[in-house]
Amino acid sequence: MSSWRERHFHGRRVRVSLTYVGNLLAGAAVNTPQTPHPGDWRGGYRAAFDRVPPAPRTPTPLARDLIFGYQGGQNALRIIGAVFLALGIPFIFIFGGGILTDLTITATGQAATGTVVATRVVTSVEVNGAHPVGIQYRYDVSGDKYEAESYTLDASILSVATAGATVPVEIVPMAPSWSRMKGTKSSKMGYAALFAFIFPIIGAAMLFYVIRANRREIRAFREGVAIKGLVVKRGEDTTTQINGKHPYEIIWEFYVDGKAYKGKLSNMNPMILQRALPDDEVTVLYDPKSPVVNTVWIE
């Protein structure tokens, strides 16, 4: 049985194990970590901190699900982005045809000369309550012959666009088949067709954002520097809703060079997050070049 002696240092009583001191003097291995007091922050946090393996790290099944996968708010953005993109692509094919030609000609157009073949009213399209008129024309560039059609609602242009009339044409120098009669548009709806690009652009932007955020968190998990962080929120993310329910989120805060940074994880199942991060002290893994890129170590 170990013997103990009490000593007083500056008014504080200290209990010293003589056996422990003896082992130190004898060179015995005494480096086994001691279990901290349950109320000591060095308990759960320090144990987890010390268990973080060196980079590159391999995720545990729980970490792969929560960090490597798309959960909570990230999954909501991914779904919305995919829906916007899926809905927008058909709009481009239906309404956006010709708008790229118009934009390219506006930027790099070159003058040519053509001959009107015929005109027709496009009854399938209506702009401001009127149907545009398609003007069919022929032209040649460097000996190559082309035929195209462009559209207008301008009565003054239609008055001169009679069959056989010579008319000015605008072409794309590097792609002569892209053309329009001067004063008209290659798109049946004119620049109003730009609205067709709104949905796919928004969808693509949302997908880019969420995929980039996910990849950055994965990089932080695999290669990041470990540091202590504290949970500052546990609760619903009221800014996001999936099937009528808010995802549950945990937000942590940590300091690098005296500056505060935050990170978060969210999931539709609060129990999974509570199991992954049961304590208020967490081990943050962050990119030293950009601490805003961070996540947490999950066993």
Q: 32-82, pLDDT tens digit by residue?
A: 333 333 333 344 445 555 678 888 999 999 999 999 999 888 998 999 999
User: Dihedral through CA 170, CA 90, CA 191, CA 103, nearest 10?
Assistant: -40
Cα distance between residue 219 and residue 125, in whole Å: 50
The CA radius of gyration of the chain, in Å to the nearest whole number, is 34
Q: pLDDT band at 161, cuts 50/70/90?
A: very high
Cα–Cα distances in Å, from 224 out to 66, 191, 209, 293?
17, 48, 21, 9
Closest C-alpha to 117, from 145, 136, 139, 141: 136
202 three-state secondary structure: helix
- Cβ-in-10-Å burial (0-12, 13-18, 19+) of 104 comes to middle
**pLDDT of the residue at 47:** 53
State the DSSP string of 54-122: PSSPPPPHHHIIIIIS--HHHHHHHHHHHHHHHHHHHHHHHH-TTHHHHHHHHHH-EEEEEEEEEEEE-
pTM of the complete model: 0.64
The two tokens of residue 32 are: 């086994």
Give pLDDT tens digits for 180-198.
Answer: 999 999 988 877 777 778 8
